[in-house]
Amino acid sequence: MLDGWEREGPPFWLPDGSIECRAGKYQLELQATAWRQFDLFRDWLTRQFQALCPSQDADVLSMRLLTRTQGVAVMAHVYVYADPALIQREADGIVTRLEGLEPDG
């Protein structure tokens, strides 16, 4: 999602969190739909972290990754022209963090 956007121009997508916030802001029944979208990705990430490093709290790691990527997406909308390297710098930081995880076994 964050890699290679420079070739295609600035990102015009909304972060998933923005979509969910707007969808559920005035229509509470839409919040369940929003949660399901995030829960699907969160559950998948949790399973990946459980497989990689079962001794760590996989749910915490998945939420940390979701939070960071959503934050990068939000800030990219604000600073894409003032700091075009923002997305790549943050994506590199995410990769560094993930590579720094100690796999079990």
Task: Decide if 20 is inside a domain.
Answer: yes
Is the pLDDT at 10 greater than 60, yes or no? no
Is the pLDDT at 39 greater than 80, yes or no? yes
Alpha-carbon torsion, ordered 9, 97, 79, 12, to 10 deg = 40
Name the least confident of 13-22, 37-46, 47-56. Answer: 13-22
Task: Decide if 2 is inside a domain.
Answer: no
Task: Decide if 79 is inside a domain.
Answer: yes
How far is residue 104's CA from residue 80's CA, in Å, rounded to a whole number?
38
Task: Decide if 1 is inside a domain.
Answer: no
Mean pLDDT computed over 83-87? 86
Is the pLDDT at 36 greater than 50, yes or no? yes
| Position with higher pLDDT, 76 vs 48 | 48
Q: Which domain holds residue 27?
A: 14-99
The count of domains in the chain is 1
Mean pLDDT computed over 25-48? 83
How far is residue 63's CA from residue 43's CA, in Å, rounded to a whole number?
10
